[in-house]
Each structure stands twice: as structure tokens, then as C-alpha cells.
Copies of this chain bind each other. A is one copy, B any other.
């Protein structure tokens, strides 16, 4: 059985202000919940419609109707968990860092976190305007990678002004990335879906890089920011 207070808490966690206030976030789906249980994250509560073979002391059995009531999904999965939001560690500036300038789409942020995990990028730095990484759609899209990437929300202009690392930025009219010598340590800045990198951030960038277009037509207007990040991280690591 779900109490009124439990329902109220979970429903509120859809909103960023309540996630900040309570320091909790919601995860749905057995597979992702299991991945998060294996991480250093602290479980607050686990609601499930059938007893799971999960090592969780706080497992609460609920009905299908109850799950439907608390789920953020149109088609709820079998379980929903509430985890404590971990305190971010200070940014590790010894390697490659991805910095996001106002990424708004939760799917894009989730995909970029998954890419950081794949390419061994331990630190992701986000401008304050970037969508919250504990937004349920972001968490879902990371496929568990959210537990392995250290994410800090910062004043991006201050952060870039203070770093001694070379700062690369993805632009439509930058240097062909295939012709560049890329370092092991540096910051790669990716810009907003509609407007790209802001003027203030652009002013601090040392190297503008581009992914060239191919073919006879060359009519494609742009690449999605997550696929562009995939290609650029691959270039830094190959």
C-alpha cells in the first residue's frame, strides 16, 4: 500500500525544484534500478508490483493501479525506485571533459552522459541552463551511465575562464576535426540545440572544430548535438 505522503513525494519529484529540495530522484524499470543498486547510490524506496530478486531491504509491494498512479511513464514498467541524489565530486581536470552550454532536450543529455561513460570521460560540466540530469527522462536515456559520470552544474563562463586546459568548441564553421591533432586532456564544449554555443562562451574558446559534410548535395542543415558529440568524442579517443 502506498501512503498519501509517498504518492505526494514521488509525484513532486517530477519537478526539478522538488528534486533539489528533497535531494531525491526517481528511476523506473527493473534493469535500470538494478544497475543503480549496484552503484554507490543510496536507495530511498523501491516500489514494485511483484517481489523482485533484488537485494533491496526497502522493497514495497504495490498494485498495478498504484504503480500507474505514481509512474511518470505512459506504459509503466514493473518497478519504480527513489534514490538519493549524490553530491557531485569536484571536477577532475586531468583528462578530457565535456561541457554543455544550455542543452535542453532530456534525450540528448541522457545520450551524451552514456557517450561520456563509453569513451571514458569521467567528468561532464553543464551550464546552469542545461536540463537537470536527474530529470526522469534523462536518467532513463543514460541506461545506467548516470552512476559512472561525475556531473557538475556550474557557471560555464567562470569555469572555462579558470581552467588551464585547452578549450575546444563544436561550430558549423570551425576547423575540420579530421585534420586536427587532439590532446588527451582538454574541454570539449557542445552548444544548445537551436542556437549553438552562446557568444559569451564562444569568446573563451581556443579552438573551433567542425565535422565536415560529405556528398554532392551538402544540403543537410546540421547534425543533432548528441550525434555530433559521439563523432567528436570518437575523434578525441581514436
Contacts and interface: CB of A to CB of B under 8 A. Distances in A.
A213 B238 CA distance: 10
A7 B193 CA distance: 33
Given A120-B213, A234-B231, A220 B107 contact: no
A154 interface: no
Q: Which of A117, A122, A237 has the most CB of B within 10 A?
A: A117
B215 A122 contact: yes
Q: Which of A121, A213, A219, A230 has the most CB of B within 10 A?
A: A230
Contacts of A217: 117, 120, 148
B122 A220 contact: no
A4 to B, nearest CB: 29
Nearest to A35: B221
Contact of A224 (B114, B211, B228, B237): B114
A122 B216 CA distance: 9
A126 to B, nearest CB: 19
Interface residues of A, number: 38
A130 interface: no
Contacts of A238: 178
Contacts of A148: 217, 219-220
15 contacts: A114-B220, A114-B223, A115-B227, A117-B220, A118-B211, A120-B213, A120-B216, A121-B215, A143-B221, A148-B220, A178-B238, A227-B230, A228-B230, A231-B231, A231-B234
Q: A-B pairs with the 9 shortest C-beta distances? A: A120-B215, A120-B214, A227-B230, A117-B220, A118-B220, A178-B238, A231-B234, A230-B230, A119-B214
